[in-house]
Amino acid sequence: MSDRRELYRSPNGDTWFLAREPSDGRAFIIHQPNAPSGGRLSHIELAAFLSNNANGPEHQALLRLIATLVEIPPYAQQT
Examine residue 76 and state whether it is found in any structural domain, yes or no. Answer: no
- As a whole number, mean pLDDT of residues 8-32 equals 94
Examine residue 45 and state whether it is found in any structural domain, yes or no. Answer: yes
Q: Highest-confidence range of 14-18, 33-37, 38-42, 51-55, by mean pLDDT?
A: 14-18
Examine residue 78 and state whether it is found in any structural domain, yes or no. Answer: no
d(CA 77, CA 61): 22
Examine residue 20 and state whether it is found in any structural domain, yes or no. Answer: yes
Examine residue 79 and state whether it is found in any structural domain, yes or no. Answer: no
Domain count, the chain: 1
Enter the pTM of the model: 0.80
Full residue range of the structural domain in which residue 54 is found: 3-68
8 touches 57 (CB < 8 A): yes
Examine residue 37 and state whether it is found in any structural domain, yes or no. Answer: yes
Give the pLDDT confidence of 25-46 residue by residue, as tens digits: 999 999 999 989 888 999 999 9
